[in-house]
């Protein structure tokens, strides 16, 4: 046969060239890199020479580097976080191996503190700690200035680039350009849009990096709302506020809520992080005006134990917080996502269980069980010796043990948290969950957790269909629930699941019909909050 004469090119297709590429690895595609957009928006005359390229944790380092280098950049900046530092280090190591002349600049919370011995820092050329909007621009102006003789031994002309670790300057907020015009039409249609009306936090909770802030600073509200109006006119309907304390300044909170009420539609969705013990009447009245499916509150409780709260410098009026959560649940359509943290210094399993039961009793839609993580720079480290805190040396640096909880207990709560998210928070077991929990939510779900792990040996990759069988099996055999009553509850939950296949427990007991069973709810759930719709 004649040899092939087909011609092809190994080289990548011609791509636009940029002197600067800003990049990060997002946890999922739906997330958008808010910080990178801030950096680009504040580059001044250099903005047109900069491109943003976002990837996900599933992206191969080889493919990431190839795509980055296709732009022929002189400088590449990476946003580094606790969830992506391992993968980003691989990318930077590969990049330096194949293109050592490209300057790598790092920024983000994971490299802003305790960075002396970090491998990813050693691989890089520069690290900007803290705020980067001003300092990154100044560094680029120097790096890209052809008039400077970078090889000169006279370093007097090099003010910034002579330093590897650069302390980021914190400008006044009115001097920071807002980045919202950098959200593309694809971002608006397919991604979560992060926005902020204020930056910083006045509270000093020691597990959080925001404890290092001196206060919270509000952006100019008129300018901010103008940007929100432009986003809304472009079709944006999902706004996630990253403000640490949205309801700190009530006057501003009311104006923002009123702004969105005037633009209310069936697909508008707002997420706010709120302080649980600060809910004045004016704010209550405003919240009541929002329809179902439009408002989500993330409420950080963390612990109800006053001794632990005092130890970690957390100021919280527990009774007022409980009163406000109950009020929101009983009087509004707002969706409540409440947080607890396991592993805080001095907190035992019994103490945590008490907080869980109290919080569950307030009926939030979700109780997020988090495990304490040692964020670099956070003041929680001061308790290490006294409370024998041992953290995982690998990201995300979760607690492994302390003087009040051993490693096995931490592992157990990790499984508890995973199963709770699948069963308790998912909204898929609305009828059967109350039966599982009875009048002792934590203890009963702990028994469920133990039996589930003994049965499966898994915390991931358990199909939803199998979960119905496992709930029936463990509920009837281990928790002593009436089999027929439980089966009716599971049948009702399954009927609302949308699954076409049936679990074995229903197939083998077809005589059991869910009481008052209705066909699956036909209301079309929004793609961004289907879990909320199930609740």
Convert the pLDDT of each residue in 135-156 to its tens digit. 999 999 999 986 666 555 554 5
434 domain residue, yes or no: yes
CA distance 200 to 214: 8
Q: Tell me: do 479 and 362 sit in the same domain.
A: no
Q: Which CATH number goes with the domain that contains 48? A: 3.40.50.2300
The total of other beta-carbon atoms located within 10 Å of residue 76's CB is 26
**What is the pLDDT, as a whole number, of residue 514?**
43
**What is the pLDDT, as a whole number, of residue 498?**
87
Average pLDDT over every residue of 194-208:
91
Q: Tell me: do 441 and 392 sit in the same domain.
A: no
**What is the pLDDT, as a whole number, of residue 211?**
81
**What is the pLDDT, as a whole number, of residue 157?**
59
**What is the pLDDT, as a whole number, of residue 62?**
98
Q: Tell me: do 393 and 479 sit in the same domain.
A: no
412 domain residue, yes or no: no
pLDDT band at 132 (very low <50, low <70, confident <90, very high): very high
- Total domain count, the chain: 3
**What is the pLDDT, as a whole number, of residue 2?**
52
Q: Which CATH number goes with the domain that contains 322? A: 3.80.30.20
Average pLDDT over every residue of 177-196:
96
Which range of residues forms the domain containing residue 337? 183-405
Average pLDDT over every residue of 506-513:
59
Decide which of 405, 439, 455 is a domain's last residue.
405
Q: Residue 243 corresponds to which tokens in the numbers above?
A: 């403000």
494 domain residue, yes or no: yes
- Whether 194 and 33 have beta carbons less than 8 Å apart is answered as no
93 domain residue, yes or no: yes
CA distance 247 to 82: 27
Q: Residue 512 corresponds to which tokens in the numbers above?
A: 């059991």
pLDDT band at 512 (very low <50, low <70, confident <90, very high): very low
Q: Tell me: do 386 and 353 sit in the same domain.
A: yes
Q: Tell me: do 445 and 524 sit in the same domain.
A: yes
416 domain residue, yes or no: no
pLDDT band at 181 (very low <50, low <70, confident <90, very high): very high
Average pLDDT over every residue of 444-452:
97
Average pLDDT over every residue of 297-308:
96
pLDDT band at 316 (very low <50, low <70, confident <90, very high): very high
pLDDT band at 283 (very low <50, low <70, confident <90, very high): very high
**What is the pLDDT, as a whole number, of residue 230?**
98
- Whether 314 and 379 have beta carbons less than 8 Å apart is answered as no
332 domain residue, yes or no: yes
pTM value is 0.90
415 domain residue, yes or no: no
pLDDT higher than 70, residue 50: yes
Q: Tell me: do 393 and 489 sit in the same domain.
A: no
pLDDT higher than 80, residue 402: yes
Average pLDDT over every residue of 412-428:
96
**What is the pLDDT, as a whole number, of residue 13?**
60
**What is the pLDDT, as a whole number, of residue 91?**
98
Contacts of 529 (CB under 8 A, 6+ apart): 269, 293, 296, 335
Return the sign of the alpha-carbon dihedral for residues 263, 264, 267, 268.
positive
User: Regarding predicted confidence, which is higher, 59 or 210?
Assistant: 59
- Whether 192 and 240 have beta carbons less than 8 Å apart is answered as yes
- Whether 484 and 512 have beta carbons less than 8 Å apart is answered as yes
DSSP string, 65-117: HHHHHTT--SEEEEE--TTTHHHHHHHHHHHHHH-TTSEEEEESHHHHSS-TT
Q: Tell me: do 524 and 389 sit in the same domain.
A: no
62 domain residue, yes or no: yes
Q: Tell me: do 232 and 280 sit in the same domain.
A: yes
Q: Tell me: do 324 and 360 sit in the same domain.
A: yes
pLDDT higher than 70, residue 365: yes
pLDDT higher than 90, residue 530: no
Q: Average per-residue pLDDT in the chain?
A: 91
Contacts of 149 (CB under 8 A, 6+ apart): 157
**What is the pLDDT, as a whole number, of residue 511?**
41
Q: Tell me: do 451 and 509 sit in the same domain.
A: yes
pLDDT tens for each residue of 457-476: 999 999 999 999 999 999 99
**What is the pLDDT, as a whole number, of residue 162?**
81
CA distance 507 to 491: 10
pLDDT higher than 50, residue 352: yes
Q: Tell me: do 388 and 282 sit in the same domain.
A: yes
Average pLDDT over every residue of 91-110:
97
Contacts of 396 (CB under 8 A, 6+ apart): 82, 83, 373
How far, rounded to the nearest angstrom, does the alpha carbon of residue 182 sit from its chain's CA centroid?
21
Give the chain's end-to-end CA distance (angstroms, integer).
66
Q: Residue 92 corresponds to which tokens in the numbers above?
A: 């930077």
The single-letter DSSP state of residue 374 is: -
Q: Tell me: do 439 and 385 sit in the same domain.
A: no
φ and ψ at 295, to 5 degrees? -135, 125
Q: How far is CA 68 from CA 16, 38, 61, 65, in A?
A: 11, 20, 10, 5
């Amino acid at each position: 046969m004649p040899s092939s004469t087909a011609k092809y090119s190994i080289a990548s297709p011609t791509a636009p060239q940029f002197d600067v590429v800003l990049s990060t690895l997002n946890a999922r595609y739906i997330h958008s890199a808010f910080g990178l957009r801030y950096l680009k928006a504040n580059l001044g005359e250099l903005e047109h020479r900069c491109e943003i390229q976002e990837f996900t944790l599933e992206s191969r380092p080889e493919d990431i580097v190839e795509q980055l280098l296709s732009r022929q950049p002189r400088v590449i900046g990476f946003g580094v976080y606790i969830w992506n530092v391992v993968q980003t280090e691989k990318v930077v190591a590969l990049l330096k191996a194949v293109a050592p002349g490209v300057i790598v600049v790092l920024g983000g919370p994971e490299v802003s503190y305790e960075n002396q011995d970090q491998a990813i820092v050693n691989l890089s050329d520069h690290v900007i700690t803290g705020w980067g909007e001003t300092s990154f621009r100044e560094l680029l102006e120097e790096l890209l200035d052809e008039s400077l003789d970078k090889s000169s031994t006279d370093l007097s002309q090099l003010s910034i680039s002579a330093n590897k670790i650069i302390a980021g300057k914190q400008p006044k907020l009115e001097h920071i350009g807002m980045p919202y015009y950098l959200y593309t039409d694809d971002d608006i249609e397919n991604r979560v849009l992060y926005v902020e009306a204020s930056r910083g936090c006045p509270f000093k909770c020691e597990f959080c990096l925001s404890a290092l802030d001196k206060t919270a600073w509000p952006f100019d509200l008129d300018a901010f709302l103008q940007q929100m109006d432009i986003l809304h006119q472009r079709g944006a309907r999902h706004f996630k506020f990253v403000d640490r304390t949205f309801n700190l300044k009530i006057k501003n909170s009311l104006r923002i809520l009123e702004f969105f009420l005037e633009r209310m539609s069936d697909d508008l969705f707002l997420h706010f992080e709120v302080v649980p013990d600060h809910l004045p009447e004016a704010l209550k009245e405003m919240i009541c005006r929002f329809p179902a499916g439009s408002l989500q509150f993330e409420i950080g409780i963390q612990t109800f134990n006053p001794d632990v709260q005092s130890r970690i410098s957390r100021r919280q009026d527990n009774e007022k917080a409980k009163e406000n959560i109950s009020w929101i649940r009983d009087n509004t359509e707002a969706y409540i996502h409440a947080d607890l943290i396991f592993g805080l210094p001095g907190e035992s399993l019994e103490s945590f269980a008490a907080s869980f039961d109290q919080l569950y009793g307030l009926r939030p839609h979700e109780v997020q069980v988090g495990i304490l993580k040692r964020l670099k720079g956070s003041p929680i480290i001061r308790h290490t010796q006294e409370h024998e805190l041992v953290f995982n040396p690998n990201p995300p640096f979760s607690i492994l043990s302390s003087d009040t909880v051993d490693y096995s207990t931490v592992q157990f709560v990790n499984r508890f948290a995973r199963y709770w998210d699948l069963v308790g928070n998912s909204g898929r077991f609305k009828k059967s969950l109350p039966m599982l929990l009875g009048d002792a939510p934590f203890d009963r779900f702990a028994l469920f957790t133990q039996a589930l792990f003994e049965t499966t040996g898994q915390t991931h990759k358990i199909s939803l269909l199998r979960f119905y069988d496992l709930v029936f099996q463990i509920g009837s055999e281990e928790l002593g629930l009436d089999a027929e009553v439980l089966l009716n509850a599971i049948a009702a939950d399954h009927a609302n699941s949308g699954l076409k296949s049936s679990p074995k427990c229903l197939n083998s007991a077809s005589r059991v019909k869910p009481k008052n069973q209705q066909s699956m709810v036909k209301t079309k759930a929004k793609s961004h909050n289907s879990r909320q719709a199930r609740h």
